[in-house]
Structure 1
Amino acid sequence: MGKFSYMRLKGSQNLRLRLLLSTLSSTPILIEDIRADATWPGLRPYEVSFLRLLEKVSDDCVVEINETGTKLKYKPGIVMSGRHLVHDCGTSRSIGYFLEPLVVLGLFGKKPLSIRLKGITNDSKDPSVDTFRSATIPMLKQFGVPSEGLDLKIESRGVPPHGGGEVILSVPIVDSLKAITWIDEGMVKRIRGFTFSTRVSSQFENTMIHAARGIFNRLLPDVHIFTDHKAGEQAGKSPGYGISLYAETTSGCVISVDTAVSYARGEDEGELEDEKELSPPGDVGEEIASALLGEIEQGGVVDSTHQGLLFLLCALCPQDVSKVRVGKLAPYAIEVLRHIRDFLGVKFVIKPDPSTETVILKCVGCGLKNLSRKYNGTHNISGYMESAKNGDLPEDVILEILLRLPVKTLLQLKCVCKHWYALIGSLSFVNQHFSQESNQEHLLIRHYRPDEERYAFALYVDEIFSGYEEPDHLQMPVTVAALMGPLNGIFCVVSLSGHMALLNPALRQFKPLPLVHPYVQPHLSSYDDLLGFGLDPYNGDYKLVSIQYFWNEEMDVPHYPSLVSVYNSGSDSWRHFEDVNLVNSSRCAYRSLCNTYLNGVYYWLTEFNDTDVAILAFDMSSEKFPEIQVPDCIKSKEGDLALYEGSIALLSCDLDKIDKCVDVWVMKKEGCWTKILTVGPCQDIKWPLGFWKNSELLLETGTSLLTLYNVYTQKLRTVEARRKENGFFIYWVFSYKESLVSLKGEGNKCKLWDTSSDLIRDFFK
């Protein structure tokens, strides 16, 4: 292996943590006496599997193990990550054992990570994949990790002893994390959860839910636990069941617990323990509910399982102070603090808070940066900031200032020097800026001014609607037929004549798309089309799907099948599919008034004979059209789709009644719906328009007024929109954030967005 200065360690304790810190700090390690005195000496199968995983995501990583497995030499390489990786985690530990180190390494990789992990998804030893999705991912976002590209998709479930589960983990890259002050625990506002069952009766899940709710209902009314019964190949290879619960607080904290019941393994050897009695589902539900209440009672911004990861992320932050509050320190968290000191040189100041029986920890981060990321081919952030020579401010402080500035100011600062020009235009800076809390989400309302015969956009810049603007760059010609998005600040604009374009209003960039020119038989005429706008999660390309419906003029009947065309921004071209088998081509489909793209899938509401409602979906990656059923009780009602708390929501309303109610149904998994709230009865409701910031339902009421219903306080408030003498009519409502995402690329087809220019006028004729 050559001559390196090795950190010498002994024993098998915290081997995964040691390997992770060794990789992050580029410190070669030598570990001896790995279970040397045990009946089964040496590395365990799951530890060997983790080493193989490190080899897959790293370049030039060197692993040497002696014949007995009691001695390990490890020289870390460069974390490369990459897409379409596959790793079998085995069955001696669950996938959760591998997720925590893998997501940290993925953040500092050279490329975004996309990996399929096979094995056990749920057991009672490691955090489950459900806990990772509900608690770990939100915690990562606190440190500035962008939401786009951060996901865990559960393909199938697997429990001990034989596993059979599969998940797909996606991790974006960052240049550095964000130092945080996170000490406000807040108050618990709701409890959510998931149950699962594989190769056993789904009634087990209902029993667990009933038992858990029996404890929570006495304390909190907002409790929703969703089921996930698996059968066939998606049920893995062994029978089992379990439950994952998490509490969300008013300050954004997520406290989680989980457990699973199956045939158990031996502690170390991965062997089965014969004839061990399974816990009844009712006992499991009560025990896990009590465990969650215990975690909440001990306080802190995270649960005890996540303390170690929280401390590690703080230690990896820039050289600024991070401050967090936790409950009683867990044994593993204490070990993490010790290893952080040894590998990274970061020491925490630990101060108990007797008034709350919690602990406050402070540290100055080691300033880990993703040095493998390149900007403009030659420089990284450090190089730009060092070259900028702006006084004596540290580079991290300058970067933090830039990230908090609005887009308009940043565009002006690109002229300061070539280094800042490249930095502000870099992909990493663009992503960090978009995810910054200072880049607030605004309410964007498109309405019609009949006195001026034009559409206008009103931008409300805060939650109390005290600031009202009609920015010039957000105004549209009256011939705009549809506006879809926004995705990363990008809209798709469609004119009445069928012309389409991508638009970034903040950058004033406008990119006309090629015309759709499919071959159509002479006797067919198009009478309707359906559009959807989204992102391919695997390559980041924008996609636009068009479904055209035709009428056979010779037969005077509708023509099936419909014609599907898909635009890909990567190739800047359309592809046409004439033989796409839509589940029911005779359905009438409608595009929602708000954005319904979620996690690589676009959704439309469809109906048949005015009584049969369903949802048509388009997967941006597989380019397939699954159909999703809705609850029978709402199939005869009118409604619309929206996004709510990371799920697709169905807003159902019976408009024929005088006193109208809006029912909100949420789909946590395909075809499984839960009604979470009802608004009304109210005579003034005209139509639901979607959600804003996951806390307020937007409603059109009265004479085209915009009303917001707060789902927590159950109070209504009306936006005092400006009115002209001839009225003010609401049409579309969007949640909008400014973005630095550029539409410029190969071919340089991007144009300046100026509604007074002849180019824009001609486009929208």
Structure 2
Amino acid sequence: MAMAMSDLPGDLLTEILSRVPLTSLRALRCTCKTWEALSKTHIFGKTDAGSTFLGFMVIDYKLCSMKLDLQGTHNNGDLVYRPSIKRLWLLEQAEICEVFHWDGLLLCVIKDERRLLMWNPYLRQLRWIQTRDKLHPSYMYGLGYENSNNNRNHKILRLLDVTKSSELGPLFEIYDFNSDSWRVLDVDHGSCVIKSGVSLKGNTYFLAEETWSEGFVVVKAKYFLLCFDFTAERFGQHLVLPFGAYVSSIKTVVLSHVRDEQLAVLHQLEDNNVMELWITSKIEPNAASWTRFLRVEMRPLSFVTESFFIDEEKKLALVSGFFKLFTSIIKRAYIIEEQRCMQSVEIGNARKPGNKLVLSSYAPSLVQLQINGRGKRKERDY
């Protein structure tokens, strides 16, 4: 007599369900209450690592999911990359300016709001986080957690970019998930200007710039990394980048990560079309060592990278950015491999100026958000 799925041993059932693609998770949850309950305590729906990019992006201030087969498909003998991009009906009216992803969570920065939105797509949980003022582009964010007795207390670091704002206010504020409160943080980050950050292993690594002057004339400016430790709540020492990092010779520097294990950096030089990508062989708050991952000649020459994703196994990178064509700004994404031609990825154009096409790879998480809100039309989410 055939055995029903509900009669299988728990360990075997969990192993079977873990092989279901992540994009089929909603159908799995609707099958029976037992599977729905199991999905809240176990990670089901693997993302077919090594063959599929699954992530999020912002197009025209709307949050979208993106699924891309990294192997591509053949069309009349040509290899093409056509992702499936779907708008998520998380907030129908809100304009989402930026999305930060770490530890399976997404932090959504919403235009003209006095609150942030934290979302766990896997558990379908929302948490609203009140702020003391309206959100605007002068703020940057670092995301991480404090390890305490093997428990993760998640935190958000908010930084005021003084180069973009004339308003007075605290340079650093930190939000604690456990206490549901903000507090001003008095930390020393030296004389550098912080540019952007990537979360990794519970900390945030920021790209920073420091200048040297003689009188009122800037002599040199150099990029480096600066880690914010969320357990100690302080910055570490300067971490050297793996290339000549003088600002005058660089067109673009962008940070990313490889899973939650390695940091990655991409840079393009100002005077040629060479793009290099590096990944860390070791990364700690006060130490980093690097190996070069890819080095390619970029076309078109004016392309500027805004975000990227690395697939180590396939030795390729997915990059998004823009280039100028006469007076127009054209948004593009490309698959880049060292030994093959660059392949265009059809992602469409973002029509509103200043809106980045930011790629963010996704891995599911069981982090509980202590819900204070639930998304509408959640059936369209994961």
- 1:530 is aligned to 2:140: yes
Question: Tell me, what secondary structure is at the counterpart of 1:446?
Answer: strand
Deviation at 1:616, TM superposition (A): 2.1
Q: Does 1:710 align with 2:328?
A: no
Contact 1:407 1:738 survives alignment (8 Å): no
Instruction: Give the 3 Å change call, closer, same or farther, for CA 480–624 of structure 1 in structure 2.
Output: same
Match of 2:346 among 684, 696, 720: 720
**CA deviation after TM superposition for structure 1 residue 722, in Å:** 4.6
1:409 Cα deviation (Å)? 2.7
* Structure 1 letter corresponding to 2:309: F
Corresponding position: 1:446 with 2:66 = no
Aligned positions of 1:7-86 closer than 5 A: none
Q: After superposition, what is the alpha-carbon deviation per residue over 1:233-270, rounded to whole angstroms, capped at 9, x for unaligned?
A: xxxxxxxxxxxxxxxxxxxxxxxxxxxxxxxxxxxxxx
Q: Please, what TM-score do these two structures have when normalized by structure 2?
A: 0.71
Q: Helix, strand or coil: the match of 2:144?
A: strand
CA contact (8 A) 2:206 2:225 kept: yes
Q: 1:130-167 CA distances to partner (integer Å, 9 max, x unpaired)?
A: xxxxxxxxxxxxxxxxxxxxxxxxxxxxxxxxxxxxxx
- State the structure with bigger RCO (CA 8 A, min sep 6), 1 or 2: 2
User: What do you get for the CA RMSD once the two structures are aligned?
Assistant: 3.9
- C-alpha distance after superposition, 1:86-128 (max 9, x if no partner): xxxxxxxxxxxxxxxxxxxxxxxxxxxxxxxxxxxxxxxxxxx
Q: What is the match of residue 622 of structure 1?
A: 232
Q: Secondary structure at the match of 1:634?
A: coil
Q: Which residue of 2 aligns with 1:588?
A: 193
Q: 1:533, 1:597 within 8 Å by CA — same for their partners in 2?
A: yes
Task: Give how far 1:672 is off.
Answer: 4.7
Please tell me whether the aligned partners of residues 25 and 45 of structure 2 are also in contact (alpha carbons under 8 angstroms). no
Against the structure 1 CA distance between its residues 437 and 688, is the aligned structure 2 distance closer, same or farther, given a 3 Å change threshold? same
Q: Label 1:628 to 1:572 Cα distance change in 2 as closer, same or farther (>3 A).
A: same
* Cα shift at 1:572: 2.0
- How far apart in 2 are the matches of 1:641 and 1:726? 24
Change (3 A) 1:641 1:542: same
Q: 1:724: Cα distance to partner? A: 9.6
Matches within 5 A, 1:237-316: none
Higher-helix-fraction structure: 1
Map 1:617-656 onto structure 2 (within 5 A): 617-631=227-241, 633-636=244-247, 637=250, 638-644=252-258, 646-654=261-269, 656=270
Q: Which residue of 2 aligns with 1:751?
A: 374
**DSSP 3-state at the match of 1:640:** strand
Find the partner of 2:176 among 548, 564, 568: 568
Given that residues 686 and 701 in structure 1 are in contact (C-alpha distance below 8 angstroms), is that contact kept between their aligned partners in structure 2?
A: yes
Superposed counterparts of 1:319-358, under 5 Å: none
C-alpha deviations, 1:40-90, integer Å up to 9, x for none?
A: xxxxxxxxxxxxxxxxxxxxxxxxxxxxxxxxxxxxxxxxxxxxxxxxxxx
SS of aligned partner of 2:317? strand
The residue number in structure 1 matching 2:305 is 687
Residue in 1 aligned with 2:16? 401
1:544 CA displacement: 0.6
Matched residues, percent identical?
18
> How far is 1:688 from its partner?
5.3
Task: Please report how far the alpha carbon of residue 425 of structure 1 lies from its aligned counterpart in structure 2 after TM superposition.
Answer: 2.4
Question: For 1:398, what is the secondary structure of its paired residue?
Answer: helix
CA contact (8 A) 1:404 1:438 kept: no
Aligned residues of 2:195 and 2:207 also touching (Cα < 8 A): yes
CA distance in 2, matches of 1:439, 1:651: 21
Q: Name the SS for the 2:274 alignment partner.
A: strand
Q: Deviations over 1:502-560 (max 9, x none)?
A: 0123444321013247xxxxxxxx99332111233442222111123569x9xx9x989
Structure 2: runs of 5 or more not aligned = 73-80, 212-219, 324-329
| 1:613 aligned partner | 223
Q: For 1:698, which of 309, 318, 328 is the aligned residue?
A: 318
Q: Check if 1:676 corresponds to 2:292.
A: yes
Q: Is the 8 A contact 2:144 2:204 kept in 1?
A: yes
Aligned-pair distance for 1:473? 3.8
Alpha-carbon distance in structure 2 between the residues aligned to 1:503 and 1:559:
30
- What is the CA deviation profile of residues 338-382 of structure 1, one whole-angstrom value per residue up to 9, with x for unaligned ones? xxxxxxxxxxxxxxxxxxxxxxxxxxxxxxxxxxxxxxxxxxxxx
Larger radius of gyration: 1
Contact 2:59 2:350 in 1 (8 A): no
Task: Return closer, same or farther for 1:448/1:402 CA change in 2, 3 Å cut-off.
Answer: closer
**Alpha carbons of 1:474 and 1:698: their partners in 2 closer, same or farther (altered >3 Å)?**
farther
Q: For 2:345 and 2:317, how far apart are their aligned partners in 1?
A: 13
